[in-house]
Structure 1
Amino acid sequence: MTPNTQAPVRRKRMSRAERESQMLDVAEEVFAERGYRATSMEEIAERCGVSKPMLYEYFGSKDGLLLGCLARARAELHRVTSEAMAGGGDPLDVLSRGLVAYYSFTSEHSRSFALLMHEPMALPDATIEAVEGVRRQQHDLIAPVLAAWAPHLEPLQVEAYTEIIIGACERISLWCVRRTDVTPEQATRYTLDFCWGGLSGTLHPEGGPSGP
């Protein structure tokens, strides 16, 4: 009789892009759980099922791995917010759609977002610069909306009001980390009630649409 033998099960070999994505997923999870300083490359490599040298081969250092996580988040945040805003009608609708997308994203990545906001002194300088890059990216999405709705505003005013909205969004996102019962739609409404409502007189000094 022929022995009943089974061929060994071969694991699907990951492409470099798939492996990199897996490493970033795991790294974001561990950074969020332990904080930047307490996170070790050994633990991330172990959870990924790879060697620590392979992790270094892909990202160079723990700083590089954190920057990789942030770069991916920045690209995804820009994609979801810009796509949402593209479906809007008037400027208020455009901004509302963008805020819902922003708050949905920060909710899905709440622990990582809180890490970046709560531990700035523990993070490498390059990460702080990258976070500022995310803010500039959001600025470039919001400022044209304000300028289009109120062309009489000076560029400096548009810049200032945009920064105020960005700062408010970051604080509301952190608040939502604690208040998990607040939905992205509610957070958007609160933001617009305050920011857009407060700006309505400036944006339209002779009267015009007000916030929701």
Structure 2
Amino acid sequence: MIEVAETVFSERGYTAASMDEIAERVGVSKPMLYEYFHSKEGLLLACIRDARAALRDTTKRSVADASTAEDAMRRGLHAFFVFIRERRQAWSLLRHEMTLIGTSAAEEIEATRQQQTDLIATLMSGYFDDSDPMRIAAAAEFVVGGCERLAILCERHEGLTPDTVTEYAMGLLWGGLKHSASQ
């Protein structure tokens, strides 16, 4: 149900997506969708939470056996850019928050950003001098914001591969971060 809903929300946008169409594509009744998710917004929230969990799992696994801060950064960035390429519909849900302002979905999307920022900050604190936690927090926020914009660039330019964009990001980010790395 979530996979089909993700597709419909991605294709039509939240406002234009209908529970009738989602139910028909899933092969269940519309009341069944309401039984599970209570509302269209509840279904959207389930989609966003699913995408957030998948993104977290992907990025955590990618850095699990990194040997240096630079290796961890490169692996994490690459995992993110592969995720947005392979899970375009999930990424679409996560990035279209402007249409969702004032909804619980906007809070879920911000929770996704915070999840990634926290993951990056935790990773950085293991490799970088953590005597200034605000510096680590600022760097993590910068990485998340910059990567979101690069992901949008990837959407506009199909030829940009995850490998290429990872190298662009490393070139921009690592130059400033490497001076703080302890390894």
In 1, Cα distance between the equivalents of 2:91 and 2:52?
11
Change (3 A) 1:144 1:157: same
The match for 1:148 among 120, 126, 129 is: 126
Moved over 3 A (4+): 121-124
- Structure with the largest fraction of helix: 2
**TM superposition score normalised by structure 2:** 0.91
**Which blocks of at least 5 consecutive residues in structure 1 are unaligned?**
1-22
Whole-angstrom CA distance in 2 between matches of 1:124 and 1:67: 13
Kept in 1: contact 2:6–2:93 (CA 8 A): no
Do 2:150 and 2:165's aligned partners in 1 also have CA atoms closer than 8 Å? yes
Shift of 1:78: 1.1
Alignment correspondent of 1:200: 178
Instruction: Tell me by how many angstroms 1:28 deviates.
Output: 0.5
Checking the alignment, whether the CA contact within 8 Å between 1:96 and 1:188 is kept in structure 2 is: yes
The counterpart of 1:183, out of the listed 142, 161, 174, is 161
User: Is 2:42 the counterpart of 1:42?
Assistant: no
**Contact (CA 8 Å) 1:103, 1:184: kept in 2 or not?**
yes
Deviations 1:160-211, CA, capped at 9 Å, x for gaps = 111000000111111111111111121111111001113334x26xxx88xx
Q: CA RMSD in A?
A: 1.9
Q: Confirm or deny that 1:174 pairs with 2:149.
A: no
Counterparts of 1:93-172 in structure 2, within 5 Å, are 93-122=71-100, 125-151=103-129, 153-172=131-150
Where do 5+ consecutive residues of structure 2 fail to align? none
In structure 1, C-alpha distance between the alignment counterparts of 2:98 and 2:2, rounded to whole Å: 20
> 1:115: how far off?
4.5
* CA offsets 1:29-71 (integer angstroms, 9 cap, x no match): 0111111110010011111111100111111111000000011
- Aligned: 1:60 with 2:38: yes
Residue 98 and residue 139 in structure 1: after superposition, are their counterparts in 2 closer, same or farther (change >3 A)? same
Aligned in 2, Cα 1:177/1:72: closer, same or farther, shift over 3 Å? same
Give the deviation of 1:26 after TM superposition.
0.7
| CA contact 1:37–1:122 (8 Å) conserved in 2 | no
Structure 1 match to 2:65: 87
- In our comparison, the structure showing a higher alpha carbon Rg is 1
Q: Indicate conservation of the 8 Å contact 2:84/2:151, yes or no.
A: yes
Residues 121-144 of structure 1 show CA distances to partners (whole Å, capped at 9, x for unaligned) of 345521111111111211222113
Q: Across the two proteins, how many residue pairs are aligned to each other?
A: 183
Within 1, Cα distance between the matches of 2:163 and 2:58?
A: 15
Shift of 1:82: 0.5
Q: 2:55 aligns with which of 77, 84, 92?
A: 77
Check whether the contact 1:32–1:115 (CA below 8 A) recurs between aligned residues: yes
Relative contact order, higher structure (CA 8 A, sep 6+): 2
